[in-house]
């Protein structure tokens, strides 16, 4: 699911004003680096922005101010003698339509093959880059999920970054910088894409998917800043499933103190087997404990408003220090899971800590 309504420009990418402003500045000044690294969580518009950049670099609407006019390589950037007056691509010209449909020969999208980007894929890319672009003013290579490169693939790509091909820009997207080789990081200009705010997600879900406010708030919590996740959750086939899962998670967590160790471990196992929705599940659990704290001071600011009576009752039974400790435990587990620690063990430890009264 796209993060924005059309692929014709940057302006419709939601909640990423700062990175889009930077890209516009690079385009207008004609100082686009040979290599860019877009960093951010899944579903915030990194690949979408990379495609919009490719379109902006090659849109026929900017014909009078071609990026190639007076272009030369200087300080690892492309520079143009004339500024571009039209930054947003038109979306209608032959070049834009080709890029939007994925049929442009000089706009290359490289994705993981299975769990990894393998050295064979990078070697094939190098072979392509050894030739001149067919028709693009600037060839754009988008390496999606660059953190999936195995070490040999990373080292092979490094050679391309050290000796960038003519009229070629590489755009890497990744979740976090720590997942990439330091030598690759040092050769890219980093642009960070932030998680979309909950308020923006709520508004988007209400406007575009006709969600009611309570439903939108719940989905926005579980999406944790990702537009694509929010859209997937609010789809007609999954909306009810996620609303029901939230209740199931809260039921499980509330009952932990009185359950046997075996039952607690079974809950941890269920969570670990649903890795594709684990991040969202942990956000739901965290929002529950957060509401129990908030209710003590500002009842009107709880997130799960439809569970007001239940939150009121549970909040009275627990001390603030205990609740804050549980929130810290969840955030620690989230950090460990992102660092690729043993998921099952991490969850077992977390569940045992949440079970403490």
Consecutive 10-residue runs of the chain (357 residues): their mean pLDDT? 49 84 89 94 91 90 50 46 53 87 92 90 94 91 93 92 91 91 94 91 88 84 84 76 88 96 96 89 93 94 88 95 96 88 95 93
User: Which residues have CB under 8 Å from 120's CB, separation 6+?
Assistant: none
What pTM, to 2 d.p., does this model score? 0.74
Where are the domain boundaries for CATH 3.40.50.300 in the chain?
17-192
Q: Considering only CA atoms, which of 11, 16, 15 is closest in space to residue 56?
A: 11
Distance CA 120, CA 137 (A): 27
pLDDT given at position 75: 47
pLDDT given at position 63: 52
CATH number of 238-354: 1.20.272
Chain centroid offset of residue 290 CA: 24
Where are the domain boundaries for CATH 1.20.272 in the chain?
238-354
The architecture in CATH of the region 17-192 reads: 3-Layer(aba) Sandwich (3.40)
pLDDT given at position 76: 53
């Amino acid at each position: 699911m796209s993060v924005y309504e059309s692929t014709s420009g940057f302006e419709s990418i939601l909640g990423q004003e700062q990175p889009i402003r930077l890209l516009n500045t690079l385009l207008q000044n004609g100082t686009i680096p040979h290599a860019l690294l877009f960093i951010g969580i899944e579903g915030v518009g990194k690949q979408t922005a990379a495609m919009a950049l490719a379109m902006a670099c090659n849109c026929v609407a900017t014909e009078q101010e071609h990026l190639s006019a007076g272009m030369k390589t200087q300080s690892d950037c492309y520079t143009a003698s004339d500024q571009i007056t039209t930054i947003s691509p038109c979306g209608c010209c032959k070049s834009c339509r080709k890029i939007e449909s994925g049929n442009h020969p000089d706009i290359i999208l490289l994705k993981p093959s299975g769990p990894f980007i393998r050295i064979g894929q990078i070697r094939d890319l190098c072979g392509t880059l050894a030739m001149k672009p067919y028709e693009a003013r600037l060839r754009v290579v988008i390496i999606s999920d660059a953190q999936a490169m195995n070490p040999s693939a990373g080292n092979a790509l490094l050679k391309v970054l050290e000796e960038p091909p003519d009229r070629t820009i590489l755009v890497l997207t990744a979740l976090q910088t720590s997942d990439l080789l330091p030598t690759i990081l040092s050769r890219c200009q980093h642009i960070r894409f932030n998680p979309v705010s909950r308020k923006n997600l709520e508004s988007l879900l209400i406007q575009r998917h006709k969600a009611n406010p309570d439903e939108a708030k719940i989905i926005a919590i579980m999406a944790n800043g990702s537009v694509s996740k929010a859209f997937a959750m609010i789809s007609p086939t999954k909306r009810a499933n996620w609303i029901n899962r939230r209740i199931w998670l809260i039921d499980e967590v509330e009952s932990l103190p009185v359950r046997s160790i075996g039952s607690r471990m079974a809950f941890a196992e269920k969570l670990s087997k649903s890795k594709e929705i684990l991040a969202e599940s942990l956000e739901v659990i965290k929002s529950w404990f957060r509401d129990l704290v908030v209710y003590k001071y500002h009842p009107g600011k709880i997130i799960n408003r439809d569970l007001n009576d239940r939150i009121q009752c549970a909040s009275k039974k627990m001390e603030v220090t205990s609740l804050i400790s549980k929130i810290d435990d969840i955030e620690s587990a989230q950090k460990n899971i992102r660092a690729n620690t043993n998921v099952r063990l991490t969850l077992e430890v977390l569940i045992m800590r949440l079970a403490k009264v």
